[in-house]
A and B are shown apart, each in its own frame.
Chain A
Amino acid sequence: MRRWWDPIRELEQIKREMDDLFRTFSEDVWDIPLFRFSFLPGVSARTYPLVNLAEDKDNVYVEALAPGIDPESLEVTVLNNTVRIAGEKPAIKDVKPEAFHRNERGAGKFIRTITLPVEVDADKVKAEYKNGILLLTLPKAESAKPKQIAITVN
């Protein structure tokens, strides 16, 4: 739990966000003038869904905050140590814009790619969606698991 302001953590967060920002543009974008940026909002203009990462000895857990999504429309793909979560939060249909008193919940398609600190076994990944939270259980690859070394005493 984050209880006080941690400048090192903040810097790491900024670095991660900058990396994510540049990753959304393809290589050839760098050849064209910089003002083209504003015309490339992409699918994920904002980081969505928000995730928490945890790990124990055997697994890495990704918890994503994604309420109101049809579990059928969620797509989770794993490649080496990257996880991609894609889906769509449905917009409210058949309501005129002037009928809204408040409109604070967003809607639309989203994609988020998360780089994990270790390689995972893509075949054994489990995904569970409950009460608007997606939980991914990603078993670590055999090569990434810690090895207990027996000490012999002479």
Chain B
Amino acid sequence: MKETTIPVKTHSKHVPDTRDSTKTLCPPVDIFESAEGLTVIADLPGVQKEDIQVQVENDILTIKAVSKSILTLDPTYREFELYPYFRQFQLSDKTDQEKIKAEMKNGVLIIHLPKKEEAKPRQISITVS
């Protein structure tokens, strides 16, 4: 799957188009294909089910999420920081966009992108006459 971005239109003529105004993290993903379709698995630690947006627009799949830390104190020793997540992928025209499903568990987002019926492999039975 091709990775892509949609430029966000800014009103000023002097400001270049950027994809987003805030600092974002690119979450690591696994994408694998089966006969039924593609599965996208993304690691989104610190994200609740309510704070996640999965959108499809112009054949582009967008994953947007806001992460929250449980810890309210400012850490004295820090190895990671949580920022909003953002990543986009170009979908193939063989994806059935009506049947996309997503689930979230333990900070991992799983998106199922089923193939259209005509794109699925077909077994042709041979009759011996």
Residue ranges of A at the interface with B (Cβ–Cβ < 8 Å): 1-2, 47, 50-56, 61, 63, 65-71, 92, 95, 99-106, 128-133, 135
Contacts and interface: CB of A to CB of B under 8 A. Distances in A.
A90 B71 CA distance: 26
A53 B29 contact: no
A69 B106 contact: yes
B1 A101 contact: yes
A52 B41 contact: no
A61 B32 contact: no
* A47, A50, A52 interface centre (most CB from chain B within 10 Å): A52
A102 B34 CA distance: 14
Given A66-B45, A67-B43, A105-B41, A55 B76 contact: yes
Contacts of A133: 45-46, 69-70, 107
A54 B80 contact: no
B30 A102 contact: yes
A151 B31 CA distance: 65
Contacts of A92: 30, 32, 41
